[in-house]
Structure 1
Amino acid sequence: MSVDEVQTAPRMKAADRRELILEAATAVFGAKSYVGTTTDEVAHAAGVSQPYVVRLFGTKAKLYIAVIERAYARIIGEFESALPGPVEERRRRMGAAYAGLLAERGMLPVIANSTALGGDPEIGPVARGGFASVWRFVRDEAGFTEEETRDFMASGMLINAVVGLRLVGAYGTEASVTEVLDACFPDAVNRVREFMPAADEPW
C-alpha cells in the first residue's frame, strides 16, 4: 500500500491507521531502540509520510509512549486470557502467553528498552507504571506469591534479553545459546524460533 493510499483510503478508520503506525513503530523501536530511531524510519516502515506520523502523535517521545502503553496493555491482556484453567498450570499458561508475544516483531525488545529509560522525564513515569502494573497483575490477579512473582518476572526479562541479543541464529551450534533457549522455551523452542529476529535482520 502506498503512502497516498494509506492516507486517503476511505475505508481505513483513524483507529486502524493509528494501529498500523504503532505496529510499525514497535518493530522499529524494538530493533533500533528509542534513541536510535527516527519518526521518518517509522513512517517508512508503516508506509505513511513522516508529517502524518507527527500530526497523529506529536513527538517521537509521545509515539514511543503510545508504543509502550500498547505493549504493556497487550501483556496484561494475554495474561488475563491465560488465567482460566487449573491453578497449578497457571504459570505455564502465562509463560506461554508471554512467549506468544514474539509473534509481533519488536514487542518484547520494546519492553526491555523501556526499562532503560527511567531517567527520561516523559517516558520514565510511563515505563515504571507499566512495569508496576504487570507486577501487580501477576501478584494480585494471578495469585502468585512475592517469590513466585519475582521469579516469573525475572524469567520474562531473560526472554527479553535473549530476543534483544538475537541469539536464535546460534541455536544448535553454540551449546550455551542452545541451553538458554531450551530453558526459556522448554515446550515450544522450535515454534518460537520462527518469530525471533536474526542478527542480520533490520527489525
Structure 2
Amino acid sequence: MSAEERRESVIRAAIAEFSRGGYDGTSTEVIARRVGVSQPYLFRLFPNKQAMFLAAVERCFTDTRRVFAEAAEGLEGDAAVKAMAAAYQRLIVDDPDKIQMQMQTYAAVASADASGEKELGDAVRAAWLGLWDDVHLALGADPGETTTFLAYGMLVNTLASLGFPAGHRVWSGFYDEVRPTT
C-alpha cells in the first residue's frame, strides 16, 4: 500500500474511532491498531493526534459538501432543499460514523476553546463556513433559507445521535419526502 493509500486508511479509521470515543477519549494507538500499522508509522503520515482528528473532520465536511452539491445540481428553491435534505439523511443513515463524528467535533471544539487551544476550533469553524457557503449558494443566497436548512440539519443530527427511529413522533414536521427511511 502506498503512503497515500495508507493515509486514506488512517483517515477512515480515525473517523470510526473518533466518532465513538471523541477527541480526548481516542488514542492514536487504537487508530494504528485498526489500520494495522505501528504508532511510529502513523506519525510519519500525520504529525500528531490533532492533525489526524482535523483530517477526519475535514473529510466529513468534504463528504457532506459533495453530497449537498450533487443533490442540488440543476435544482432551485424547494426542490433543492428537499433534494439536499434527503441526500443528507441518506448519508447519515448509510454512514452513522459521519453523524457521530460531527457531534464529537462540536464537543472537541468547545473543549479546546475552553482550554485556550483556539487552533482546533479555528480550523473546524473554517470548514463549517465552507459548508455554510455551499448551502447558501445552493439555496439562492437567501440567509433565511440557509439558516432554516442548517437548523433542521442540526435537529436531524440531534435526533439521529439520540437514536430516535424513523417514524417516531419527534420526526414529525419534516417534509414527507425527506423523512429518514431506516
TM class, shorter-length: 0.7 to 0.9
Give me the whole-angstrom Cα distance separating, in 2, the residues matched to 1:76 and 1:104.
15
4+ runs of 1 displaced by more than 6 Å?
A: none
RMSD: 2.3
CA distance in 2, matches of 1:52, 1:34: 20
| TM-score after normalising by structure 1 | 0.75
Q: Is the 8 A contact 2:139 2:146 kept in 1?
A: no
2:170 corresponds to:
180
| Structure 2 equivalent of residue 97 of structure 1 | 87
State the Cα distance separating 1:104 from its structure 2 match: 2.7
1:127 aligns with 2:124: yes
Distance 1:26 1:147, change over 3 A: same
* Secondary structure, counterpart of 1:149 in structure 2: helix
What percent of counterpart residues are identical?
A: 30
| Structure 1 stretch displaced more, 76-85 or 178-187 | 178-187
From the two aligned structures, give the one with the greater helix fraction: 2
Alignment of 1:50-89 (within 5 A): 50-87=39-76, 88-89=78-79
Amino acid aligned to 2:102: I
Alignment pair present for 1:13 and 2:13: no
Report SS of the residue matched to 2:74.
Answer: coil
TM-score, with structure 2 as normaliser: 0.83
Unaligned runs of 5+ in 2: none
Name the count of aligned residue pairs. Answer: 174
Contact 2:86/2:179 (<8 A) preserved: no
2:147 pairs with 1:147: no
Conservation of the 8 A alpha-carbon contact between 2:54 and 2:120: yes
